[in-house]
Amino acid sequence: MSEAEYIDLRSDTVTKPTPEMRLAMAEAEVGDDVFMDDPTVNALQARAAEMLGKEDALFVPSGTMGNLLALLIHCQRGDEIILGDQSHIYVNEAGGMAALGGIYPHPIKNQNDGTLALAEIRAAIQPEDAHRAMTRLICIENTHNACGGVPLSVAYTQQVGELAKENNLRLHIDGARIFNAAVALNVNVRELVAPADSVMFCLSKGLAAPVGSMLLGDRSFIARARRLRKMLGGGMRQVGVLAAAGLVALEKMIGRLAQDHARAKRMFELLSPIQKIKLDAEPASNMLYFDLTDEVKLDVNQITNEMKQRGVLVEAADVRRFRLVTHCWVSDADVERTAQALAEVLR
């Protein structure tokens, strides 16, 4: 079976650039972006800033770098950040904040809906005391990947923003999938990020661009981010060829995210009758998680292999847990085929 024929539900990062993106990439006007001379990058940054209602934006190679830049700017060495124990920044970014910034994470429990309880955030803020690290920053994640792709509401985000202000802290949003959140909640993305001092979102996930993320904040924040990006080796030259795909992502790929969400819900419906798995709550965005019950004698690797033989790529999220992610290369028919294959493998 050729690569292209697999139904790939491992992640929305597997999305390949659309034909329209490839055309835009081939025709992109470019310049040296380290000189800020790349018109396509400049256009992408201006467009992203406008869409999110922030002063300025910076194109970065990855979401991980975008988050790291934000943390490095908001915190000095030895400063503390409050973030979720299931958050991507805490779990999946190779400890960059500690290795590269000397930043001390103060994880608190992510609730099932992806939020951090306000009372727990409040309790985690360090008092003025020479024994304690200084709390500088709160990070929240929207949609929350490990909590099921759940969107965090505008009201919650505003409450965290107020709490941050009252305590002279900054707020960063890891919004890798912020447009999925905006679509799921049917709100303007600006409202979801208004309380934040900085926000990162990915072009390379469900928006299907091949590479890249955006970091947003006020002008002085982005100026510092540009310097740090260079320091970390992320200053890129004629990178308009990638920014061109990013522009197509922003113009053409957001409106269709609702289809991915509908397909995740459809998958949920189709998998619901399977007794041998325990589904999480009905998906609100493009991810569906389930656990294997004790009745299932196969382990996750065996299931992954069996599914692959049936043309479906899945990846375990834990020793007895799977995450399936829908995206623009997964059709209605693919959803049906996947559900059939899983029922067959578990039979």
Ligand X SMILES: *Cc1c(COP(=O)(O)O)cnc(C)c1O
Residue 94 CB, shortest distance to ligand X, in Å, is 10
Q: Which 3 state secondary structure label does DSSP give 125?
A: coil
Residues 6+ apart with CB under 8 A from 136: 74, 75, 76, 79, 80, 81, 169, 170
Considering only residues 234-273, where is the footprint of ligand X by CB under 6 A?
none
Nearer to ligand X, 88 or 229 (CB): 88
Interface region with ligand X, contact rule CB under 6 A, candidates 33-41, 63-71, 103-111, 258-266? 63-71
Chosen residue from 145, 180, 285, 338 binding ligand X by CB under 6 A: 145
* DSSP secondary structure string for all residues of 174-219: E-TTHHHHHHHHTS-HHHHHTT-SEEEEESSSTT--SS-EEEEE-H
> Quick one: which segment of 58-66, 189-197, 289-297, 337-345 binds ligand X (CB under 6 A)?
58-66
Work out whether 176 is an interface residue with ligand X (CB under 6 A).
Answer: yes
Q: Which is nearer to ligand X, 277 or 285 (CB)?
A: 285
Closest to ligand X by CB, 40 vs 64, is 64
For residues 18 and 64, which CB has a smaller minimum distance to ligand X in the complex? 64
E-strand spans in the chain?
Answer: 7-8, 56-60, 80-84, 104-108, 135-141, 170-174, 198-202, 213-217, 277-279, 287-292, 312-313, 315-318, 321-325
Q: Is 316 left (phi over 0), alpha (psi -120 to 50) or beta?
A: beta
Closer to ligand X by CB, 53 or 96: give it: 96
Q: Which of residues 72-101 bind ligand X (CB under 6 A)?
A: 88
Q: Cα(120)–Cα(97) distance, rounded to whole angstroms?
A: 22
Asked if 64 is part of the footprint of ligand X (rule: CB under 6 A), the reply reads yes
The counts of H helices and E strands in the chain are 14, 13
Structure tokens at 258: 């609702």
For residue 107, state whether it binds ligand X (rule: CB under 6 A). Answer: no
Residue 55: DSSP 8-state: S
Pick out residues in 177-216 that bind ligand X (CB under 6 A).
202, 204, 213
Q: How many angstroms separate the CA atoms of 247 and 238, rounded?
A: 15
Residue, CB closest to ligand X: 63
| DSSP single-letter state for residue 276 | T
Q: Is there binding between residue 173 and ligand X (CB under 6 A)?
A: no
Binding residue (CB under 6 A) for ligand X from 33, 56, 80, 174: 174
17 touches 328 (CB < 8 A): no
- Provide, rounded to whole angstroms, the least separation between the CB of residue 61 and ligand X: 8
What's the min distance (Å) between Cβ of 209 and ligand X? 11
CB of 250 to ligand X, least distance (A): 16
CB of 266 to ligand X, least distance (A): 22
Which lies closer to ligand X via its Cβ, residue 150 or residue 341?
150
142 scored as a contact of ligand X (CB under 6 A): no
Q: What span, in angstroms and rounded, lies between the C-alpha atoms of 118 and 202?
A: 27
List of residues contacting ligand X (CB under 6 A): 62-64, 67, 88, 141, 145, 174, 176, 202, 204, 213
